[in-house]
Amino acid sequence: MITLAFYKGRTDDQKDRIVDALIRFATRSAYSHVELIGGVAQLGEEAVCFSSSSRDGGVREKRILLRPDHWDLVFAPIDPEPPVAVLTSHLGARYDMVGILLSQTLALGRHDPDKWFCSEIIAAALGLSSPQRYSPQLLCEVVQWAWPRPLGDGDAGAGDPSAADADDLTS
C-alpha cells in the first residue's frame, strides 16, 4: 500500500505562498504539491515522504507532519518498493522549474531527464506514461479512478486503507 499526500495548505512564507498560488491557478487545482509515502500514512502523524520540492531544491526524502488542514491523503494498493526505489534513485536531482512552466502552464509537455517537479517524479515512479503531463490534481484524479475507494474522513477519496481486498495488495 502507498499513500499520496496532496498539499492544500497555506504556508506562512510569502514567497512560497505565491508559488503555491501560481501552481494552483495554472493547474486549476486545490493542490500545489504531492508527496509519496511507502505505506499507510495517517493525518496528524509524521511520515517519511518522497517528492521533488522547489523549497528543498529537488528530489528528496523528508519527514513531514501531515497536518489535517494542510494535506489530503489518497491510498493505493500498490507494492511500495518499486516507486520508492525510483524516487530513491533520483535523490538529489534538481527541481524542474522550467519543466513545470513548459508542461503545466504552456502545456508543451517538455521534460528535462535530469530535473523533476513533484507530480512528474511521482507519476514516473508509478509507471505512468508522459509523467511531465501530470499536475498534482490530475495525479489525484487518476489514482482515485484507478483504485477507487469510498470517501473517508480526512482523505480525498481513498477511504479506509485497511478495507482493501487482499487481491488489491498484490497488484
Residue 64 lies in a domain: yes
Per-residue pLDDT at 156: 52
Residue 171 lies in a domain: no
Where in the sequence is the domain holding 62, given as residue range(s)? 2-159
Residue 168 lies in a domain: no
Number of structural domains in the chain: 1
The CATH number of the domain holding residue 17 is: 3.90.1720
Residue 164 lies in a domain: no
Q: What is the pLDDT of residues 43-87, one digit of tens each?
A: 999 999 999 999 999 999 999 999 999 999 999 999 999 999 999
Residue 102 lies in a domain: yes
Per-residue pLDDT at 12: 87
DSSP characters for the chain? -EEEEEE----S-HHHHHHHHHHHHHHTSS-SEEEEESS---TTSEEEEEEEETTTTEEEEEEEE--TTTEEEEEE---SHHHHHHHHHTTTPEE-HHHHIIIIIS------TTEE-HHHHHHHHTT-SSGGG--HHHHHHHHHHHS-----TTBSS---GGGS-TTGGG-
Residue 167 lies in a domain: no
Per-residue pLDDT at 165: 42
Q: Which residues of the chain have pLDDT under 50?
A: 151-154, 157-160, 163-171
Residue 94 lies in a domain: yes
Residue 170 lies in a domain: no
Lookup: cell for 161: 486503507
Instruction: Enumerate the β-bridge partners of residue 35.
Output: 5
